[in-house]
Structure 1
């Protein structure tokens, strides 16, 4: 049982870290700036420089709206799929460790991935807003994809809460 628990937790940490790295590499969310950056994002919840950089990089203000909208939809779909994969790993930790709490490192890694997903979502939404202002076309397919990504974020938030509760129930405290 202990070996299985450690492997699941390691898989969750690896998946979470890989997801954060992918978001940063693609320019969808800024790289991890440590606890101060995380606290700032959580407290202020405002658009990040990554959002402005993403909007600029894909040419939301200048390139053909159809191309920009396709890019936003594809990027959002990829970010959503990645988050869903990480959430699946988190669920495996929850279901595979009956009676055991998750390790603090798992909780922190998964929460970091969730925060990065939220930053990516804001980047995509900001880019959609920028192109929508100048596009006289239907943006609802992109909005629907962003809604699916938001739903995946909401589900990830619920799973993160359950992981934190499991860890707290094991005698630890999540700060």
Structure 2
């Protein structure tokens, strides 16, 4: 497990770093290796925040907690991550992906808002990110979207190998956009 601890607005502390690493060791029982863990410890006045992002084979989970004590924040965020992983592991048992399913490479680009306005020649891409996308079912896509705390997720449907979009509706339900062959 590769763990990176970043301190924001506070002095780096080996004790806090080792405490966070020790607490997050518990996630190993839920996820297959390799695991990359990013921990951000931030102090703003009296607020002590701990944010954790875990990336493993085919899954990314984010969580954040805030208290008046950094150790309590680390405890709370590690418990939250463990609950999410336990729930994910229980749900995923029923949804085994097809053995011949292929991953796709996807590239995400962020376009500068000013370049979209009238009069601009071409949009200016200000950020690009590439990542692999494993085929999954609709249920897995909804779980992944919940774990990432996102409003939508673009994924490859494991049964049809087509790119679909699942999104959170304003009424709390989910919507699915899938391509139709004409």
Same fold (TM over 0.5): no
More helix by share: 1
Q: Which has the larger radius of gyration?
A: 2
Structure with the larger RCO, 1 or 2 (CA within 8 Å, 6+ apart): 1
More strand by share: 2
| TM-score (normalised: structure 2) | 0.28
| TM-score (normalised: structure 1) | 0.29
